[in-house]
Each structure stands twice: as C-alpha cells, then as structure tokens.
Amino acid sequence: MTETITIHGAAIPKLGFGTWQLKGAECEAAVGHALATGYRHVDTAQAYENESEVGRAISDSGVSRDDIFLTTKVWMSNMGADRMADSVRRSLDRLKVDRVDLLLLHWPNSEHPFEQMIESLNACREAGLTAHVGVSNYTADQIERAAKASDAPLVCDQVEYHPFLSQRPVLDALERRDMALTAYSPIAQGGVFGNGTIKAIGERHRKSEAQVALRWLIQQERVIAIPRSSKPENIESNFAIFDFSLSDEEMARIFRLAKPDGRMIDPEWAPDWDAA
Ligand SMILES: NC(=O)c1ccc[n+]([C@@H]2O[C@H](COP(=O)([O-])OP(=O)(O)OC[C@H]3O[C@@H](n4cnc5c(N)ncnc54)[C@H](OP(=O)(O)O)[C@@H]3O)[C@@H](O)[C@H]2O)c1
C-alpha cells in the first residue's frame, strides 16, 4: 500500500512512477505494469514525447482515472503567455484526460518575465486544465518569488534529490511555503547500487540499495519520489518499500553521503543552483 501526502488539498502518493526516456510500446507497457503493481501517481512531461503512451496505458489499465495522480510539465518553448494554455490542451488530448492533477513549469526560463509564467500557469488552473500547480528545478530564491507571485498555492518543486545530493536550501524554502519536494532521479539513475553504506543498511533490512534510497526519501516528511524503470521486476521492487522503515541513525548515515559534485542533471539552461 502506498502512502499519501496532502499539500494544499492535493493528495499525492509519496511514491510515483517516472517516465522520462520511456518511449512507445515500452513506455505503455511500463506504465501499465506500474499501475497493475499499485502505483497511483504518474509523472510525464511535454518534453518526454510520451504523453500519448502514458494516456493509453492509463485508459487501458482498468484503474479509475480518479484514483490516479497525474502530473505533466510545460516545456520551455511553451511558456509564453500566448502559448501555454493551448500547449496544455494538446497535452490533455494526448493524455486522454479532461485535466491533469498537477501542472509544473519544467524549468526556470529567462526568456520570459518570471511573474508572467506563474500567471500563465495559474490561468491554466483557472481554465480547469489542472487541479494544482507547481514548479520544477527552481532554486530556493525562485521558490519564494514564485510562491509570492502565484494566486493558487504551489504544491511542489520537482528537483533532483538522492543520497548523493543535499537539497537543504530547497527543503528549507519549501518548508516555509508548506510545499512538497518531488525527488527526481531518486536512485541516482542506478548510482546507489554498490554504495557500501546503503548496501550495508539494505542487508540489515533485506532490501536493495534502490529500496533503501527510496525509503530514505519518502521517510522525509515532505518528500515524494518518482523512480523510473522499464523492467517489470524493478518496477515491482521499487514499490516494495512500505513494509520496513529506517532508524534515525540509518537516516542520518545516508544524509552524510551527500557530496558537492553529487548533481547529475545540469543542462546549459539550468539556474544558478543553491550551494548545498
Ligand atoms: N523535472 C525534471 O527536470 C526531471 C529530470 C529528470 C527526471 N525527472 C523525472 O524523474 C523520474 C526519475 O528520474 P530518472 O529517470 O532520471 O532516474 P532514476 O529513477 O533515478 O533511475 C532510472 C534508472 O535506474 C534504473 N533502475 C530503476 N530501478 C532499478 C532497480 N530496482 N534496479 C536496478 N536498476 C533500476 C532504470 O533502468 P531499468 O529501466 O533497466 O530498470 C533507469 O536506468 C524521470 O523518469 C522523470 O519522470 C524529472
């Protein structure tokens, strides 16, 4: 059974299914398997070019739409005031839903006025295209500025977060605004495997390094994790994290694994990240 966090009225399963780099039939099968396994939170984006497959997997799954928390993200080229809502309508067509549960701005974008993008995001919500709004890859200062500019409460910032990357400044900013952190690349794209500390903790609980990393994330009060996998056995094992818990001492040992060069996703358009 999954656990849920409620943030500004959004009931979000703490473990979701990521879909970046999943394409075509592989994507459809993976999302279908995730839903059959029990995941009730699916993360996609305009830029992933898989919204149609995600939509088909959802509609073929037999799981009620109301039981699935579905997120998509507006790509940077669609962030202009004249483009955003239409681009989201096209996403909804591909996803075969009337609205998504959460709509995020995928990255901060210096090509448009900061507040205008937040206003356009809010306009999507007012038009009924999404139930909730949030951001992704925003720094601590940007979270504060965006929260001030937004009519509707922002529910999350989706950022890279795993045992090798501290997100302390972002977590502090999110706490001040009562927002969640959605952790992407939560198993460091496989990098947690072979880490001595995580492996030893896993052996104590008969769990893999991925399961320990995911448990460490969701055991933090306002953190949600969205691992991705194309393989049925990994999809299932990543979900098997609700039958054990980490002690305070084990949590602290994993927090100590963060390192200054732990960030993996850092494209040229990335913001000036917070020093952790
Ligand atoms: N907002 C953003 O800018 C942003 C950026 C990056 C990611 N995201 C979101 O976050 C999601 C997750 O991040 P991610 O895809 O970067 O990385 P991730 O979930 O940390 O890792 C995915 C990789 O780990 C492997 N894997 C997964 N479970 C495994 C297991 N139990 N044992 C062994 N290998 C395993 C997968 O391979 P197999 O397929 O072989 O299992 C895949 O290569 C994305 O899919 C996307 O939805 C958002």
Sign of the C-alpha dihedral computed for residues 250, 168, 13 and 185 taken in this order: negative
Going by C-alpha positions, the residue among 96, 71, 50 that lies closest to residue 184 is 71
The span from the CA of 50 to the CA of 70, in Å, is 13
- In the reported structure, the alpha carbon of residue 48 is separated from the centroid of ligand 1 by a whole-number distance in angstroms of 13
Residue 56 DSSP symbol: H
The span from the CA of 96 to the CA of 136, in Å, is 23
Pocket test for ligand 1, best of 37, 207, 228, 237 (most atoms within 8 A of CB): 228
Residue 195 lies in a domain: no
**Which structural domain range is residue 236 located in?**
4-190+222-243
Q: What is the CATH number of the domain that holds 21?
A: 3.20.20.100
Question: What would the 3-class secondary structure string for 145-202 be?
Answer: HHHHHCCCCEEEEEEECECCECCHHHHHHHHHCCCEEEEECCCHHHCCCCCHHHHHHH
- In the reported structure, the alpha carbon of residue 228 is separated from the centroid of ligand 1 by a whole-number distance in angstroms of 4
Tell me, yes or no, if 48 is annotated catalytic: yes
Q: Assess whether the C-beta atom of 72 lies below 6 angstroms from ligand 1.
A: no
The span from the CA of 251 to the CA of 212, in Å, is 10
The span from the CA of 220 to the CA of 124, in Å, is 30
Residue 271 lies in a domain: no
Residue 263 lies in a domain: no
Q: Which residue's alpha carbon is at the smallest distance from atom 16 of ligand 1? A: 185
The span from the CA of 234 to the CA of 35, in Å, is 14
Length, in residues, of the chain: 276
The span from the CA of 13 to the CA of 2, in Å, is 6
- In the reported structure, the alpha carbon of residue 188 is separated from the centroid of ligand 1 by a whole-number distance in angstroms of 8
Going by C-alpha positions, the residue among 100, 96, 41, 40 that lies closest to residue 74 is 100
The span from the CA of 140 to the CA of 90, in Å, is 31
Residue 200 lies in a domain: no
Backbone angles phi, psi at 52, to 5 degrees: -65, -45
User: Please, which residues have CB within 8 angstroms of residue 203's CB and are 6 or more apart in sequence?
Assistant: none
Q: Which residue's alpha carbon is at the smallest distance from atom 21 of ligand 1? A: 189
The span from the CA of 12 to the CA of 7, in Å, is 8
Residue 83 lies in a domain: yes
Longest alpha-carbon distance in the chain: 55
Residue 256 lies in a domain: no
Q: What is the pLDDT of residue 2?
A: 79
In order of 51, 61, 137, 240, the CA distances from 73 in angstroms are 10, 22, 11, 27
Q: Hey, which residues does 220 pair with through a beta bridge? A: none
Q: Which residue's alpha carbon is at the smallest distance from atom 13 of ligand 1? A: 185
Going by C-alpha positions, the residue among 59, 63, 129 that lies closest to residue 91 is 129
Q: Assess whether the C-beta atom of 236 lies below 6 angstroms from ligand 1.
A: no
The span from the CA of 238 to the CA of 210, in Å, is 7
Q: What is the pLDDT of residue 43?
A: 99
The model's pLDDT over 179-206, given as tens digits with 9 standing for 90+, comes to 999 999 999 999 999 999 999 999 999 9
Residue 250 lies in a domain: no
Residue 248 lies in a domain: no
State which residues of the chain have pLDDT below 50.
Answer: none
Domain tally, the chain: 1
Q: What is the pLDDT of residue 145?
A: 98
Pocket test for ligand 1, best of 158, 208, 214, 229 (most atoms within 8 A of CB): 229
Q: What is the pLDDT of residue 1?
A: 67
Q: What is the pLDDT of residue 276?
A: 73
